[in-house]
Chains A and B, each alone.
Chain A
Amino acid sequence: MSPQFSEKALKQVEKIVARYPHKEAALLPVLVLARREFGRIAEEEEKLVAAILGIKPIKVREVVTFYSMLNREKIGKYHIQVCSNISCTVMGAETLLDHIRKKIGIEPGQTTEDGKFSLSTVECLGACEMAPCMMVNEHYYGNLDKKKIDKILDKME
């Protein structure tokens, strides 16, 4: 079954497209929307977005592969993104990553078998003043230590 946008999402697409003089300009926001709808941008999603915007599929392809947030693989319910950039490294991000790795039993780039967690390391999240930090889905968590991480992850169902 190929993916289809929900009625609500389609309305949003319409709204997004209306902002720009060219349909192609809506590509990135529509891809971001599609990612939220479908959890990933794989071939079927690429095709869908190309069709909706009336652009050649290659135009979607070149963009999807350029931006790091447009994941191609399905990700878990909770996507843990641990910053591995400079301030977080200075503040001990590596130890925390180890802790999370052990805790949920997967390596960065993997998803737990039950589909609950996906783990990634990412470049600077723009929250250096609360290093070490991470993002779970769209939420930021800063000034992390092992205890705090346990508390955050344990609350997730």
Chain B
Amino acid sequence: MKITINGKSISVEGKRTILEVARENGIKIPSLCDHGKLEHFAGCRMCIVDITGRKGYPPSCSTYVEDGMEVKTNTPELRRMRKQILELLLSEHPHSCLICEEKENCDEYKSTIRKVSEVTGCVLCPNNGRCELQKVVEDLKIDRVSFPSLYRGFDILKNDPFMDRNYNLCILCGRCVRMCHEIRGASVISFTYRGSKAVIGTSMDKTLLESGCQFCGACLDVCPTGALMERAAKYENEPENSERTVCSLCSMGCTLEVSLSEGRIYSTKPYEEGLVNRGQACVRGRFLVRDIVHAENRISKPMIRKNGTLEEVDWQEALDFVSGNLKKYKGDSCGLVVPSQASCEDHYLFSRFGQEALKTSNIGNPADLNLQACFEDYIREKNLKFDFNFNIKDISNADTIFILADDLAVTHPMVWLEVLAAHRKGARLVLIGSSPSAGERFAVLSLKPKAGTELPLLQGILDVVFEKFQKQETAEGAQKSMEGPGLDQCEKITTLKKEDCLKAAGFFNGKGRKIFLVDGSIPFLPSNREILSVLWNLSLLDGTQMIVLDGFTNSLGSLLIYRNSGTKIRGYAAVLEDALEGKLKALYLSGPFPLIPGEDLEFLVVQDCYHSAWLEKADAVLPAVTLFERKGVLVNTEGRAQKTNPSAAISGEGKPDWWIVSQIAGKMGAKGFEYKSPSPIMEELSRRRAVFKDLTYKNLAKKAAFFLKSKTGEQQRYDPSGMDFSTEEQDRDFPLRLVFQAVPDSCRGFPLDRISKSLSLIRDSRDIRLSKKDAGKLKLKDGEKVRVESPAGSFQGSLRISEKQPAGLVRAYLSLMEDFDSSLLKTFMTYSREKASLRTLPIRIKRGK
């Protein structure tokens, strides 16, 4: 169709708004409330236009073009009316600077006087220079406001982590509300009151934290004024430049824009065109990067233990010391734990370092404990055909989504946003499992079986699906492969209603595109191996796409590196076990390890970013740098390979992991470790491992998106496996069950809440989560110190009472906790041997000290 804007003929295709078409054609229309990703609001009325034959002045942001439409966007009348509307906004917004005649001089000389909390003009506003209102004022050339300034006198809200809110600056465009509601599905904030008293608020005026905010920062990034401000960046100078990089704080791989000031990170924001995140981030990418890179407890210099104390030395001395000592422990008596956050280059060199220099098979990759690893084990063993790759965008096109996962909003925020997008388009959400999650409000069905009875539930569902499937068609080889518990038994074991199981099975049998999202919570559930096979069979039967999510940065990449190395690597659990049994004489610790080594260990090297309890026992400490300070290739949970870029100056004398291990390997006499940059390492990896074929820096730069070739196995068949449905007996002395979860926010295993106090307010890795009911029974209060006791051992933490937590179940993060008893770990390891998994432990909770 054809329309004319200001006399210019423009051809338009599809459903477009006047504002969109105008902007694409270089026609400027001021606008404040509209935002490309959000539903139209049409409230600010800055974008009004004149359409021939139409009454009034419709807003161009929400008026769709029609064939033959004649639009005027810039008549003197429109300009006058816009000015008047803007004047109204300014009458309630501190504006003295905006219209000050000397504002240019002021901009030059007083660029940073923002240290007052009350904003009375732009030079005092933390958003000065970035404010959209400011730009519109300039565009419309406002030089006077014909009303007295009206200060609304709202308290400035500074009691939340990461951000301050000053609603005296708010123009009620509603972008934050729409973002929070429509895109993030969080609905923490909304409009309250009406008319001129309207203000953005929370339920009962609580803090954002108390209102369940996850601090993704999306509201802040769409705020056109300084009403919402990132506290840490508030009083800094303007950033000098910005770099684009990939966030390395979880397995999503969001693209971030890092703005820098004097080599320090000023702020990180999600990149609009990011392939994974498309302008969105979570608390980690949005608020924590600055803190973790510039943390006070960064290890800045190499250290070696001399006469019982660690002393700072130069790199040469440290490398000589470490390599000299390690030579004595070649073989399996030396353990190597690799980082949970490292690039493919790092992991490749760690694998070579372990095998060629340390000559040990005791290489532990923390990702070994993850779901993808368990699943990889499973399908490899059974030679099943599976592709780990998926495209995050496909999720939003699903018709039915099953979720067996922890709170995806926390563990896989971008996946969760796609699930929400699917829900907005009408997809059904079915939640399975006892994990409390943000998804419940959106689910058509939420199956919460008794803690630890996920397997009988899934088996019950599978039985129903199978029966129907058999009736519908006789697929080749489709024989009833497993003897399920039957629905009656299922009802008894899981305490769920039979109808609900039937309903769920109905959804599995349903039409349309079905996706089953499973995440890392499974290894921590009882009988995970069997669950994997039930899942496999379920997805095979009804044509559901199973997506196996993982929680670690580059864990898929690292798995494929170590597991395709050609020689036997015993894995993380084995290293842990050997350490517990005192079999390790030397340990090269570069990743998380829930255990302080005992007296048997003769030599401990710590290669890490942060000071931690392990340093007390370390014989040598080598400072590593984060992935925000260097180049590296990361594979995210989709199987997508992306490159990080150095976005901050290296802190202290830290070095990249690949550099450190190649230096030590070289000094130990291993050949072929002469690398000067990561790019040749990547090239070598792409030649040596088939899955990484063609994955080079050159190709990454060329291709818009690069996915690993992670397809495995050949067979697509049902997998009959033996089932054990006996539920564990309840122990009277230890009536509760403990489930461990991976810490969702960590840098190389170091819990980020230890670095960021703000984060610890949202979720503390030392939290022990208990249901309201159980807490009531035990007369325990929120925040209280408690001691978790099991027949095997105990640990301490602080109690977090959760209304969503199912009764009888206790959750804690698996990290090195205060007072963590290593015998507890031993128990886990025993379970682990028997069931190839970590199981729930019988425990009791007591008031701690």
List chain A positions with a Cβ less than 8 A from chain B: 43, 46-47, 50, 56-62, 65-66
Q: Could you say which residues of chain B place their CB within 8 Å of the CB of A62? A: 190-192, 201
Given the known interface contacts A43-B204, A46-B203, the answer about A58 and B194 at a Cβ–Cβ threshold of 8 Å is no
Q: Are B190 and A57 in contact (CB under 8 A)?
A: no
Q: Are A58 and B203 in contact (CB under 8 A)?
A: yes
Distance between Cα atoms of A107 and B191 in the complex (Å) = 29
Distance between Cα atoms of A50 and B204 in the complex (Å) = 12
Distance between Cα atoms of A50 and B187 in the complex (Å) = 14
Q: Are B441 and A58 in contact (CB under 8 A)?
A: no
Contacts A43-B204, A50-B203, A66-B193 aside, 13 further interface pairs with beta carbons under 8 A come to: A56-B187, A56-B203, A58-B189, A58-B203, A58-B211, A59-B187, A61-B190, A61-B202, A61-B203, A62-B191, A62-B192, A65-B193, A66-B194
Q: Could you say which residues of chain B place their CB within 8 Å of the CB of A65? A: 192-194, 201
Nearest residue, chain B, Cβ from A46: B204
- The yes or no answer to B739 lying at the interface (CB within 8 A) is no
Q: Are B192 and A61 in contact (CB under 8 A)?
A: yes
- The yes or no answer to B188 lying at the interface (CB within 8 A) is yes
Residues of B440-462 at the interface with A, using a CB-CB cut-off of 8 Å, are 441
Distance between Cα atoms of A72 and B122 in the complex (Å) = 37
Distance between Cα atoms of A92 and B201 in the complex (Å) = 39
Which 9 A-B pairs have CB atoms at the shortest separation, nearest pair first? A57-B203, A58-B203, A62-B190, A65-B192, A65-B193, A61-B203, A43-B204, A66-B194, A58-B190
Nearest residue, chain A, Cβ from B193: A65
Q: Could you say which residues of chain B place their CB within 8 Å of the CB of A59? A: 187, 190
Interface of B is mostly: mixed
Nearest residue, chain A, Cβ from B190: A62
Q: Could you say which residues of chain B place their CB within 8 Å of the CB of A58? A: 187-190, 202-203, 211
Q: Could you say which residues of chain A place their CB within 8 Å of the CB of B193? A: 65-66
Distance between Cα atoms of A58 and B191 in the complex (Å) = 9
**B431 CB to closest chain A CB, in angstroms?**
15
Distance between Cα atoms of A62 and B202 in the complex (Å) = 8
Q: Could you say which residues of chain B place their CB within 8 Å of the CB of A46? A: 203-204
Q: Could you say which residues of chain A place their CB within 8 Å of the CB of B194? A: 65-66
**B186 CB to closest chain A CB, in angstroms?**
9
Q: How many residues of B contact A (CB 8 A)?
A: 14
Q: Which of A43, A46, A58, A60 gathers most chain B CB within 10 Å?
A: A58
List chain B positions with a Cβ less than 8 A from chain A: 187-194, 201-204, 211, 441
Q: Could you say which residues of chain A place their CB within 8 Å of the CB of B204? A: 43, 46-47, 57, 61
Q: Which of B189, B190, B211 gathers most chain A CB within 10 Å?
A: B190
Q: Could you list some 24 contacts between A and B, CB below 8 A?
A: A46-B203, A46-B204, A47-B204, A50-B203, A56-B203, A57-B204, A58-B188, A58-B202, A58-B211, A59-B187, A60-B203, A61-B190, A61-B192, A61-B201, A61-B202, A61-B203, A62-B190, A62-B191, A62-B201, A65-B192, A65-B194, A66-B192, A66-B193, A66-B194
Distance between Cα atoms of A58 and B212 in the complex (Å) = 11
Q: Could you say which residues of chain A place their CB within 8 Å of the CB of B201? A: 61-62, 65
Q: Could you say which residues of chain A place their CB within 8 Å of the CB of B191? A: 62
**A146 CB to closest chain B CB, in angstroms?**
33
Interface of A is mostly: helix
Distance between Cα atoms of A46 and B190 in the complex (Å) = 15
Nearest residue, chain A, Cβ from B199: A65
Q: Which of B187, B188, B204 gathers most chain A CB within 10 Å?
A: B204
Distance between Cα atoms of A3 and B191 in the complex (Å) = 26
Nearest residue, chain A, Cβ from B197: A65
**A63 CB to closest chain B CB, in angstroms?**
9
Distance between Cα atoms of A46 and B204 in the complex (Å) = 8
Nearest residue, chain B, Cβ from A68: B194
Q: Which of B192, B193, B202, B203 gathers most chain A CB within 10 Å?
A: B203
Given the known interface contacts A43-B204, A61-B201, A61-B203, the answer about A56 and B441 at a Cβ–Cβ threshold of 8 Å is yes
**B191 CB to closest chain A CB, in angstroms?**
6
Nearest residue, chain A, Cβ from B211: A58
Q: Could you say which residues of chain A place their CB within 8 Å of the CB of B188? A: 58
Q: Could you say which residues of chain B place their CB within 8 Å of the CB of A57? A: 203-204, 211
**A40 CB to closest chain B CB, in angstroms?**
14
Nearest residue, chain A, Cβ from B188: A58
Distance between Cα atoms of A60 and B211 in the complex (Å) = 13
Q: Which of B187, B189, B202, B441 gathers most chain A CB within 10 Å?
A: B187
Q: Could you say which residues of chain A place their CB within 8 Å of the CB of B441? A: 56
Distance between Cα atoms of A47 and B201 in the complex (Å) = 16
Distance between Cα atoms of A58 and B210 in the complex (Å) = 12
Distance between Cα atoms of A57 and B212 in the complex (Å) = 11
Distance between Cα atoms of A57 and B204 in the complex (Å) = 8
Distance between Cα atoms of A43 and B203 in the complex (Å) = 9
Nearest residue, chain A, Cβ from B187: A56
Nearest residue, chain B, Cβ from A64: B192
Distance between Cα atoms of A66 and B188 in the complex (Å) = 17
Q: Could you say which residues of chain B place their CB within 8 Å of the CB of A56? A: 187, 203, 441
**B333 CB to closest chain A CB, in angstroms?**
57
Q: Could you say which residues of chain A place their CB within 8 Å of the CB of B203? A: 46, 50, 56-58, 60-61
Distance between Cα atoms of A62 and B189 in the complex (Å) = 9
**B481 CB to closest chain A CB, in angstroms?**
39
Q: Which of B189, B192, B441 gathers most chain A CB within 10 Å?
A: B192
**B698 CB to closest chain A CB, in angstroms?**
50
Nearest residue, chain A, Cβ from B441: A56
**B804 CB to closest chain A CB, in angstroms?**
13
Distance between Cα atoms of A60 and B190 in the complex (Å) = 10
Distance between Cα atoms of A47 and B203 in the complex (Å) = 9
Q: Could you say which residues of chain A place their CB within 8 Å of the CB of B202? A: 58, 61
